[in-house]
Amino acid sequence: MEPAVKEHVQKEIDRLAKKEVFIHLETTNGAYASHFDETFFSSGAYIRNAQLVYEHGKVTGKGPYRVGLKMNFGWVYAEGITHFEVDEDNRLLLAGHDFSGKLAVALQISETPFE
Amino acid sequence: MEKERHVLVIFPHPDDEAFGVSGTISLHIDNGTPVTYACLTLGEMGRNMGNPPFATRETLPKIRKEELEEAARVLGIQDLRMLGYRDKTVEFEDEEKLANRLGVIIGETNPSLIITFYPGYAVHPDHDATGAAVIRAVKELPADKRPKVHCVAFSNNCEEEIGQADVVNDVSAVIDRKIAAIKAHASQTQLMAANMEESIKNQDPEVLARMYKERFWTYKI
Ligand SMILES: [Zn+2]
């Protein structure tokens, strides 16, 4: 992955707007967080292959970035995006890695389902 | 260490075998005992992507599969089975179906010893669910056909509740292979492995104790 470039990410978000797309959205602090620090409240969520259409989307902030996709009937939101890649299947992979390099958030948009 | 007929190792993630069990696996293989390793997932949801990141959420499974194969090769495991479950979802599988699937592997390999996680004391929900499914599968067997089950436990409360490990294997004779197995899981262990080697060189007593002694709790079924 490359450090996120706002203009490039925006172009990709535009490319995938108004189409049926599949979304992978994830936030995680790892299953071991509360094991190593019992005062830490562990939480996380992910959805893989949610099928939707967004009308438009935006990448904002000075980095790490925020991304919001506006649908007819709702929103998709991710915060903390640091890296991006358009992979060989033309899927937009956005990820946020924490200060030690561990994945903390992911938002991925594809025209075909993720495996 | 007792000589076994066949050892079956069942864990949910590539690298689960590396830290706590790879020395014991090596000792069994040196003993001439065949080892089967059934790994339920490919650790698809791992958080270590390299720094700077060389893996993505989508390439990680392929990378970790290759690392798992390399670790098996380093340890001399001939029979590596990847069961195709998904990381972080094992606890949501149908428990009976999962136990039956593991039961088939137990039936096929006819192990005298199974190594897995101690359900309830293995921190990650996939670990606990895997251990529970193994115990359920073993309970299905007639009492005189049941293999021994050695469990790995490491939750903060485990010694308070289940006491001290009753099986402690000294793996210093095969420590090089153990380190090689840990290193094989490069995407997950890169930083850690470097620190570990340094600590071993400096004879850090805590690291030595953890690396050289593998601890198991015999599950009483
Ligand atoms: Zn694990």
pLDDT more than 70, % of chain B: 100
Q: Tell me if residue A103 falls in helix, strand or coil.
A: strand
B47-81: pLDDT as tens digits: 999 888 899 999 999 999 999 999 999 999 999 99
Residues of A in contact with B125 (CB under 8 A): 31
What contacts 24+ positions apart, CB below 8 Å, involve A56-61? A56/A14, A56/A17, A57/A13, A57/A14, A57/A16, A57/A17, A58/A10, A58/A13, A59/A4, A59/A6, A59/A9, A59/A10, A59/A13
Structure tokens at B89: 């979802």
A-chain residue closest to B121, CA distance: A35
Give the number of other CB atoms < 10 A from CB of residue A60: 11
Give the CATH class of B7-155+163-218.
alpha beta
CA distance A82 to chain B (A): 10
pLDDT band at B118 (very low <50, low <70, confident <90, very high): very high
pLDDT, tens digit (0-9, with 9 covering 90-100), for B152-196: 999 999 999 999 999 999 999 999 999 999 999 999 888 777 778
Distance B200 CA to ligand 1 centre (A): 23
Chain A residues inside the 8 Å CB shell of B46: 103
Residue in B closest to A30 by C-alpha: B47
CA distance A60 to chain B (A): 22
Please state the domain extents for chain B: 7-155+163-218
Where are the extended beta strands (E) located within chain B? 7-11, 35-39, 79-82, 113-117, 148-152, 167-170, 213-218
- For chain A, give the mean pLDDT: 94
The domains of chain A are located at 2-110
pLDDT for B52 equals 86
**A2-110 CATH:** 2.70.180.10
Cα B89 to ligand 1 centroid, rounded to whole Å? 12
Minimal Cα distance from B124: which residue of A?
A31
> What pLDDT was estimated at residue B208?
84
Q: B22: closest CA among B147, B184, B132?
A: B184
- How many CA atoms lie less than 13 Å away from B83 in the CB half-sphere? 27
The whole model's pTM is what?
A: 0.90
- Cβ within 8 Å, pair A100-B123: no
